[in-house]
Amino acid sequence: MSYKTYRTHKEMSHSLLRGLLITLTIGPCFMASARDPFRVSANEQIRLGQQVAAQIRRQFHTLPPTDPRVQVLRRIGHRILSTFPDSETWQYSFDVLDDKEVNAFALPGGPTFFFTGLLNKLKTEDEIAGIMGHELTHVRQQHWAKLYSEMQKRQLFMTAALIFLRVNYTGAQLVDLANNLLDLKYSRNDEAAADQGGFDNCSNAGYNPQGLADAFAMLDKLPGHEPEFLSDHPSDNKRINHIEDDIKRSGKSYPVQRPLPWATPAP
């Protein structure tokens, strides 16, 4: 996601991000799917997610289960999980990290984290549910495993091509730029899928999907926004419009959004 909220893997602290990159790339010896020799298996995704989650809990102050923010987050998370098929294989968990960063993310296999910096800016349970549904879609559709597989394939292909063509350093830089552009398009596709999943998951659990649009509207007002063509996510305005169009097309009557107990009422 991740953010601000949806700039998930780019806005963690630099030291944590370096540790995650090491763990996610060279740490484990993955068991690949029989259909895709580069694809990380579901069991390995779960194991990896648990390992990285343990690192995160050691680095950040994790709020205790008695904290109202943790209780609300877990109640919403489990309510969404109750709408998933009984055959779900992932090991979900929901924790709150006490940090001013405006962020939320889900790791491969199911561990999900919200920062207090984000929760303090949200106004309703429905906003949390929309973001939660978005992040859980990344887990269920195995976006990280797919990205890892595609990255490995491109690295293998480009290494072979560079050796065969004897590309010089400048040429290699151009190849690296091309890879980044491929990642840009791919990430936007997954983010669009996660937005749709956020809409479906929160509405299926009885929340108002307008909450997801409202969360994006709040994020859009935060400083530091990049132009869409420089970002690996669709613009907030496009995401908001798409969600609100889906609400209209559904023809459903959604419940009034539930205010969060710690949220400051609008003036």
Tell me the catalytic residues: 135
List, edge to edge, every strand of the sheet that includes 104-106. 93-97, 111-115, 104-106
Q: How far apart are CA 151 and CA 204, in angstroms?
A: 34
CB atoms within 10 A of CB 80: 23
CB hemisphere CA count around 232 (13 angstroms):
18
Alpha-carbon distance 136 to 174, whole Å?
35
What is the C-alpha separation between 187 and 143, in angstroms, rounded? 9
List own/partner pairs for 234-240 with CB under 8 A and 24 or more apart: 234/188, 234/191, 234/192, 234/195, 239/195, 239/213, 240/213, 240/216
Pick from 227, 195, 226, 1: which is nearest to 101 by CA?
A: 1
Q: Give yes or no for a contact between 68 and 76, defined as CB atoms under 8 angstroms apart.
A: no
SS3 content of the chain, % helix, strand, coil (to 5): 60, 10, 35
CA terminus-to-terminus distance, the chain: 29
For 37, which DSSP code?
T
What is the Cα Rg of the chain in Å?
A: 19
